[in-house]
């Protein structure tokens, strides 16, 4: 029985992104919530979002004016499990989240 419980827990944990990033349409991590995505450096859309939480630990989030993570870039360093309002003075259309302090 304990083995079956372990297998179920392992399968559930494998389905969750490590160090998840979540964005919202509101300014204070409220409004419509986006999908949970991993902080693995992949490029994701951010259009219509105005705040985010970058999971547990230290993360660097690179926000981009244009889609496909190109164009003017804004680095948000030392991001953790608190809500961050995105106020760059321009629309943000995409982002990359990195585990650790560097946006590289």
26-81 pLDDT, tens digit per residue, is 999 999 999 999 999 999 999 999 999 998 889 999 999 999 999 999 999 999 88
Q: Where are the domains of the chain?
A: 20-99
Residue 2 scores a pLDDT above 80: no
Nearest to 73 by CA among 101, 100, 54, 95: 95
* CATH number, domain 20-99, options 3.90.1150.10, 1.10.150.530, 2.60.20.20, 2.40.50.100: 2.60.20.20
Q: What pTM value is reported for the model?
A: 0.80
> For the stretch 27-44, what's the b/e string if a residue is b when 16 or more beta carbons lie within 10 angstroms of its beta carbon?
eebeeeebeebbbeeeeb
């Amino acid at each position: 029985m304990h083995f079956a419980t372990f297998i179920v827990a392992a399968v559930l944990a494998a389905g969750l992104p490590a160090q998840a990033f979540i964005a919202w349409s509101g300014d204070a991590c409220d409004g419509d919530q986006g999908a949970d995505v991993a902080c693995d450096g992949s490029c994701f859309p951010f259009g219509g979002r105005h705040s985010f939480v970058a999971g547990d630990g230290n993360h660097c989030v690179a926000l981009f004016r244009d889609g496909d993570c190109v164009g003017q870039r804004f680095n948000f360093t030392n991001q953790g499990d608190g809500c961050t309002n995105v106020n760059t003075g321009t629309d943000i259309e995409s982002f990359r989240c990195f585990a650790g302090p560097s946006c590289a």
